Structure 1
Amino acid sequence: MTAPKGRRTRPTGAKVREAVFGVLADRVQGARVLDLFAGSGALGFEAVSRGAASVVFVDNDAAAAMTIRRNAVALIEDTERWRILPMHALRALRMLRGKFDVVLVDPPYKRGAEEELAVLMQRGLLAPDGVVVVEHRSSAPVSLPVSMQVVKRTKYGDTCVTYARTRGRGTLASRRPRTPR
């Protein structure tokens, strides 16, 4: 897998990626995944490699979108399992339909994703038992909409990963069995 050249994209490190998917465990199996601020697509591709049914990659950087496309063609045989939206995350969130079981959010550290998380929840794009995973700088906690609650937070040096669900939906361990789609 390749990453876009330059400093605009900060791929999630292998240690953090492995830890995230260790926490998500079997939630990824058969899941619809949304990868916002996808960069190289590393998180979305990891989800597919662990059995996700499909992934939608969103990144507004043209070089990142081209890199994701090349990686997807090389790594995912079934083209029905992936889609790339080369646009701003807010625009994508306003046009997407359906519900996502896992939403991966890895914005530039200086930017944050508060508005995107609010639109995600307002539009009802998170499945009832879905989980949102936000990677951010440890020194800058993520601000969640009131409709969400933090269920887990882990630190890896300067990187922090916050796991959140719809308020009142329980912990990461709380989950109804997935029904076939």
Structure 2
Amino acid sequence: MASGSSSRKSRRRRRSDDSASESDSDHRRKTSRRSRRDSDDSSDDDDRSGRKKKSSRTITDEEISQYMAKKAQRKATKVAKKLKTNTVSGYSNDSNPFGDSNLNEKFVWRKKIERDVTQGASIDSFSIKAEKKRQVERMAEIEKVKKRREERALEKAQHEEEM
């Protein structure tokens, strides 16, 4: 029996030795495969870059319009955040007689923006630059109205003096 147990041990040793040598050879094979694959990948990348992969999904006009509306909405909210000021027409959060929690935030009319984009309005019309331009135009119009009001008041005063 002693000889039988020693032969088992030697088999076990051989198996462990074989597995160690197999793991070394496996390791060499894997690294050589890896290096071959890496070199092949560089040539495959050159082949692939010339071709575009076709998408199996077709994009509908409705999806495009939804995407454009969302994009315009995001842009409009971004513009609103940029143009947000500390006071709105003389009121601040400290002196807020209206109890409005959104007093300092610029209103963004999302549904109108979506409608405009679906009707074909340019997204650039919702940019910060365009919004500032509209704001300057509004302020100029307000100044014109104030001047006209003062002129009317003067005319009215002169008319009353004549009578």
Q: TM-score, normalised by structure 1?
A: 0.22
Higher strand share: 1
RCO higher in structure (CA 8 A, sep ≥6) = 2
Structure whose alpha-carbon radius of gyration is higher: 2
Q: TM-score, normalised by structure 2?
A: 0.23
